[in-house]
């Protein structure tokens, strides 16, 4: 069984017909992990025993002729910033070493209720801060398409696990592009839903007004299937949106003729990799051939997005990460001369370099005297960015952009220059600042065989339309 050649639907159908047992599939998934993961290193923790227990339980259901759920026996991977009861949750940080949550995140709980089997927890940039996975406190995950390249971040482990056939689908989180960038770099589909669409209960907070959980899959259909399971109101999350969820799978293959697609002129910038640019031009042509109406639009505050994001995200992070004090969670890292000494040593030894940089930046931006000049100003610009999108969505239904200005870069290429790393988020962060849904769909490879991603954005809660636009593209693209 090679997970790269099968979809969730087909897998569940094989179980239903008793052509395959869940235990067989879970066995082959762990065989694949044993073969591949010493190179790719997508997983931080494997849930072998639990997965086999789940598999036996579902096999018994099948033997008893019981109905299966939509994702019964589907092997999934979960980013290590989502709680799974009794399994370590580290956020790839030393400060959470030894922390085992007593509860499960809502999104993960919903996947399990739909029959999915958690294979393991995946590597990430520490506290989801990064674009390459190189900020993990433990090791760097590698891109399955070229082991010398990064898988993207921060949900690089979840993207690589799917791309390498070590899970059928997975969950990541996206604060400024952490699902869409790794999806683009690893050649899989990755989606960030509207803010509030998926519960954040049990997701370790990075920047609470930006964080969203979303799926990775090889195909748009599977992505829709997972999203349909995990989305919807949750009273455990006060920012969860009580907005009805349209069926996401039902109209997926409806034609998209006459849909208006906007191409923001600010997103086709000098410095963009020419191979990415020419691929994107082909994507535009594919939509034109499907009868869509393409038009240029303007999102004038795009240039301010990176500065705005890195003020808001760091400010929220500095406040969210104040809780890691060596008392309540995870590891206490020394300090025997009083409380302040213990705080200092715990945070000094527990947090990595990038996390400390963000805490410093955020604390500075929030401090008296600078609050108005930085944080408040950033909030105002955030509103302007949202207004840009509001105006754009008066004219078009969907916006098309590259996901990233480049393909996956080499490990180590940007680590000494945090600014150039931050710049790689240029196309993904506006979507989080505005709370919109966005998806990255593979749209080809460059001459070195590295995947290229196309990003589509839609208005708030327009996931069904977004997935339909992505599905039609994927189908046309595969036929080319």
> Which residue number is nearest to ligand GLN in terms of Cβ?
178
Burial code of 241-274, b = ≥16 C-beta within 10 A, e = fewer? beeebeebbeebeeebeebebbbbebbbeeebee
Please say whether the beta carbons of 33 and 48 come within 8 A: no
CB of 179 to ligand GLN, least distance (A): 7
- Closer Cβ to ligand GLN, 180 or 221, answer by number: 180
CB of 180 to ligand GLN, least distance (A): 9
Of 132, 158, 170, 178, the active-site residue reads 178
CA distance to 10, 11, 41, 381, 474, per residue, from 82 (Å): 28, 25, 19, 30, 29
CB of 175 to ligand GLN, least distance (A): 3
- Give the integer Cα–Cα distance in Å for 380 and 96: 34
Please enumerate in sequence order all residues whose Cβ is within 8 A of that of 471, keeping only pairs 6 or more positions apart, or say none.
220, 221, 224, 252, 253
Token digits of residue 170 = 């997975």
- Closer Cβ to ligand GLN, 151 or 335, answer by number: 151
CB of 222 to ligand GLN, least distance (A): 22
Taking every pair of Cα atoms in the chain, the longest distance, rounded to a whole number of angstroms, is 71
Q: Is 154 a catalytic residue?
A: yes
Token digits of residue 359 = 């805490």
- Give the integer Cα–Cα distance in Å for 175 and 313: 8
Kindly tell me the burial class for residue 235, based on how many C-beta atoms sit within 10 Å of its own C-beta (0-12, 13-18, 19 or more): exposed
266 secondary structure, DSSP code: G
- Give the integer Cα–Cα distance in Å for 432 and 371: 22
CB of 176 to ligand GLN, least distance (A): 3
- Give the integer Cα–Cα distance in Å for 235 and 214: 19
Residue 244 three-state SS: coil
Which of these, 85, 88, 83, 86, lies nearest to 98 by C-alpha position? 88
- Closer Cβ to ligand GLN, 12 or 457, answer by number: 457
- Closer Cβ to ligand GLN, 128 or 150, answer by number: 128
- Closer Cβ to ligand GLN, 174 or 234, answer by number: 174
The two beta strands, 438-445 and 451-458, are antiparallel
- Closer Cβ to ligand GLN, 177 or 202, answer by number: 177
Of 61, 79, 121, 192, the active-site residue reads 79
CB of 211 to ligand GLN, least distance (A): 7
CB of 207 to ligand GLN, least distance (A): 8
Q: Is 79 a catalytic residue?
A: yes
- Closer Cβ to ligand GLN, 176 or 350, answer by number: 176
Q: How many CB atoms lie within 10 A of CB 360?
A: 12
- Give the interface with ligand GLN as residue ranges (CB under 6 A): 128-131, 154, 174-178, 206, 313, 425
**For the residues of 100-163, what is the DSSP string, one character each?**
--SS--HHHHHHHHTT-EEEEEE--SGGG--SSSTT-SS----BTTBTTB---SSSHHHHHHHH
Which of these, 228, 208, 34, lies nearest to 116 by C-alpha position? 228
CB of 310 to ligand GLN, least distance (A): 7
CB of 447 to ligand GLN, least distance (A): 26
Q: Residue 397: phi, psi to the nearest 5?
A: -95, -35
- Closer Cβ to ligand GLN, 250 or 353, answer by number: 353
Q: Is 244 a catalytic residue?
A: no
CA angle 137, 138, 143 (to 5 degrees): 105
- Closer Cβ to ligand GLN, 142 or 192, answer by number: 192
Of 21, 132, 136, 154, the active-site residue reads 154
The catalytic site residues sit at: 79, 154, 178
């Amino acid at each position: 069984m090679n997970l790269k050649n099968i979809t969730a639907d087909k897998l569940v159908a094989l179980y239903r017909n008793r052509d395959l047992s869940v235990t067989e599939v879970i066995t082959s998934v762990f065989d694949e992990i044993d073969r591949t993961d010493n190179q790719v290193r997508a997983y931080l923790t494997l849930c072998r025993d639990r997965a086999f227990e789940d598999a036996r339980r579902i096999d018994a259901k099948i033997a008893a002729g019981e109905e299966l759920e939509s994702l019964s026996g589907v092997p999934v991977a979960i980013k290590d910033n989502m709680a799974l009861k009794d399994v370590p949750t580290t956020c790839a940080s030393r400060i959470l070493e030894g922390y085992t949550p007593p509860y499960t995140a809502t999104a993960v709980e919903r996947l399990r209720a739909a029959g999915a089997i958690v294979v393991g927890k995946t590597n990430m940039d520490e506290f989801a801060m990064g674009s390459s996975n190189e900020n993990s406190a433990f090791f760097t995950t590698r891109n399955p398409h070229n082991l010398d390249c990064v898988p993207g971040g921060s949900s690089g482990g979840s993207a690589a696990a799917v791309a390498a056939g070590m899970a059928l689908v997975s969950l990541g989180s996206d604060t400024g592009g952490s699902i869409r960038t790794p999806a683009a770099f690893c050649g899989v589909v990755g989606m960030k839903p509207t803010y509030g669409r998926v519960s954040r209960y049990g997701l370790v907070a990075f920047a609470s007004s930006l964080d969203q959980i979303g799926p990775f899959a090889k195909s748009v259909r599977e992505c829709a299937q997972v999203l349909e399971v995990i989305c919807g109101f949750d009273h455990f999350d006060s920012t969860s949106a009580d907005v009805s969820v349209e069926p996401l799978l039902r109209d997926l293959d409806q034609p998209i003729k006459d849909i208006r697609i906007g191409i923001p002129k600010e997103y086709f910038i000098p410095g963009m990799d020419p191979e990415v640019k020419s691929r994107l031009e082909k994507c535009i042509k594919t939509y034109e051939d499907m009868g869509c109406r393409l038009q240029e639009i303007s999102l004038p505050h795009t240039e301010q997005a990176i500065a705005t994001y890195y003020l808001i995200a760091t400010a929220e992070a500095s406040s969210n990460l104040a809780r890691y004090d060596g008392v309540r969670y995870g590891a206490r890292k020394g300090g025997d001369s009083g409380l302040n000494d213990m705080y200092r040593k715990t945070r000094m030894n527990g947090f990595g370099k990038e996390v400390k940089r963000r805490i410093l930046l955020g604390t500075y931006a929030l401090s008296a005297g600078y609050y108005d000049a930085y944080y408040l100003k950033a909030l105002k610009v955030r509103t302007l960015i949202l207004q840009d999108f509001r105006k754009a969505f008066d004219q078009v239904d969907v916006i098309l952009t590259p996901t990233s200005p480049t393909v996956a870069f080499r490990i180590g290429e940007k680590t000494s220059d945090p600014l150039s790393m931050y710049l790689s988020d240029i196309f993904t962060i506006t979507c989080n600042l505005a709370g919109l849904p966005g998806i990255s769909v593979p749209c080809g490879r460059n001459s070195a065989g590295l995947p290229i991603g196309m990003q589509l954005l839609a208005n708030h809660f327009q996931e069904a339309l977004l997935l339909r636009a992505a599905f039609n593209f994927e189908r046309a693209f595969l036929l080319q």
